[in-house]
Homo-oligomer: A and B are copies of this chain.
Amino acid sequence: MASSSSPSVLLFLLLFTIAATAKTSESLSTVFPRAIPGSALKQVPNAKKPEPKFPFKTQYFPQLLDHFTFTPKSSTIFYQKYLINAQYWSHGAPIFVYTGNEGDINWFASNTGFLLDIAPSFRAMLVFIEHRFYGESMPFGKESYKSPETLGFLNSQQALADFAVLIRSLKQNLSSEGSPVVVFGGSYGGMLAAWFRLKYPHVAIGALASSAPILQFDDITPWSSFYDAVSQDFKDASLNCYEVIKGSWAELEAMSAKEGGLAEVSRTFRTCKDIKSVYSAQDWLWSAFVYTAMVNYPTKANFMMPLPAYPVEEMCKIIDRFPHGATNVSRAFAAASLYYNYSGTEKCFDLENATDAHGLHGWDWQACTEMVMPLTCSNESMFPPSPFEYKEFSDQCMRKYGVMPRPHWITTEFGGSRIEQVLKRSASNIIFSNGMQDPWSRGSVLKNISASIVALVTKKGAHHVDFRFATKEDPDWLIEQRRQEVEIIQKWIQDYNADLKQ
């Protein structure tokens, strides 16, 4: 496979280069979405009609383009979308803000039922703020992704400032400046929630950061931890399953290298039309395993794709059920088909034309500028070994966007090294919730830092599973994790109210 000759391109640039493979990938990671080159931007100047039962009102806030410079251009206004639900709220009651991440905010709101579940008992207003340059919140309309001159304004610090300005304005308009604000976010949104509490403690009294890998920068977390964790998920389900997948890559490469090999791969992968590169098949498998590990939820769910409960186990059952002598590639294909075709309705797969239903491709820009999270595959992982070569990465960013990454900026701006020592003396009121099934968990905070900066870790949880609607099938550990979250947030609000009375 070419991945061994330029492995970092393959691996890290799971981010963007080899993107756009899986036909049905409405299925993109929330933290590392793949790019969809050339996908049309859905700039909708007017609100979409809310779906029936979508319990939010859509609003648009006139937001500043650039909070941190004062050039004439920086004062340009764009319309930032946010969703609001005030049905349980009364004046002075809490405001729960979801700090939107890299996609359409409606999608995150639909997948963060936890806030709707808990709003009544807190009498809380819910506000989901869309991140600039995603969904409808396009500072330059259809031109937003045109060049680095426009994209330059897409980054986390501007997003945090957007949140602060919007929340302040909202509270003022509600004449409810005293309402305590708690921020919530999952994945990159969880990073933003945690950072928001650190940088804007005067705006938010606390943050629940679910599956927020704020330590996946520089060399704070081992670079191989992500793929090692994916691999461990499969190994825990079945050692054979892990070995089959691990063996499939070389087999796939050998298959494609033969005369007529790509046609054979196409047949094996039931592609709608013959693929042009073996990478397409490789990426298709790769994505299925990675994203399934992330959403290895304990109940049937449809975050990225419709999947059964504990889908990693289901994939491994498929692999293990194959008769002796079946190829690794055919087994891996069958397992990955669970991800792409759980409904069983897909007649064929279009590996080389992905869609981007949730508008996630701006992440590629962020990954090429500030969000430099090196990931490698160790020899122990079920993926082909692969280093991270910074130069190759930065050259690629330069070619694609005309900018050089700033690989140390996030840790300069937000910290990360020796985080326990820093935060125990300079911060409070953050919950880092993680499930160890989620490969991103390794880059998050997994131990309590202080009495009020706490880690809620579940062994069987996956990517921000706590943020999903409660269901009757929820296991006890998940019910307990959410109960603790509610209890802690109640205490923050009590402390805040007590402080006010002083």
Contacts and interface: CB of A to CB of B under 8 A. Distances in A.
Interface of A: 64, 66-72, 74-75, 148-149, 151-155, 157-158, 161, 164-165, 168, 197, 199-203, 205, 369-370, 402-404, 406, 408-409, 412-419, 421-429, 452, 495-496, 499-500, 502
Contacts of A164: 412-413
Nearest to A164: B412
12 contacts: A64-B406, A66-B68, A67-B413, A68-B69, A69-B69, A70-B369, A75-B404, A161-B412, A199-B199, A201-B415, A421-B499, A425-B452
Copies of this chain present: 2
B72 A202 contact: no
A425 B429 contact: yes
Given A69-B69, A70-B369, 15 more contacts: A67-B68, A69-B158, A70-B151, A70-B152, A70-B154, A70-B370, A71-B149, A72-B402, A201-B422, A202-B414, A202-B415, A202-B416, A202-B422, A203-B415, A425-B452
Contacts of A157: 67-68
A66 B369 CA distance: 13
A154 B424 CA distance: 33
Contacts of A421: 496, 499-500, 502
A68 to B, nearest CB: 4
A13 to B, nearest CB: 18
A197 B158 CA distance: 20
Contacts of A426: 197, 201, 426-429
A425 B425 contact: no
B500 A168 contact: no
B161 A413 contact: yes
A74 B495 CA distance: 42
A199 B165 CA distance: 17
Contact of A69 (B152, B199, B203, B496): B152
A299 to B, nearest CB: 36
Contacts of A165: 412
A426 B369 CA distance: 29
Given A67-B409, A199-B199, A422-B201, A148 B369 contact: no
B152 A71 contact: yes
A425 B201 contact: yes
A450 to B, nearest CB: 11
Contacts of A495: 425
Given A75-B404, A161-B413, A69 B201 contact: no
Nearest to A149: B71
B402 A148 contact: no
Nearest to A498: B421
A279 to B, nearest CB: 28
Contacts of A402: 72
A177 to B, nearest CB: 8
A408 B426 CA distance: 25
Contacts of A148: 70-72
A98 to B, nearest CB: 20
A151 B70 CA distance: 7
A424 to B, nearest CB: 8
Interface centre among A74, A168, A200, A417 (most CB of B within 10 A): A74
A436 to B, nearest CB: 25
B201 A412 contact: no
Contacts of A425: 201, 205, 428-429, 452, 495, 499
Nearest to A428: B425
A95 to B, nearest CB: 16
Contacts of A205: 425
A148 B73 CA distance: 10
A416 B418 CA distance: 28
A222 to B, nearest CB: 19
Contacts of A427: 201, 426
A378 B154 CA distance: 46
A151 B452 CA distance: 42
User: What 9 A-B pairs have minimum CB-CB distances, sorted nearest first?
Assistant: A202-B415, A71-B152, A201-B426, A68-B68, A70-B369, A69-B152, A421-B499, A70-B152, A202-B422
A422 B204 CA distance: 10
A419 B424 CA distance: 20
Contact of A72 (B75, B403, B415, B419): B403
Contacts of A414: 202
B70 A403 contact: yes
A409 to B, nearest CB: 7
Nearest to A421: B499
Contacts of A500: 418, 421
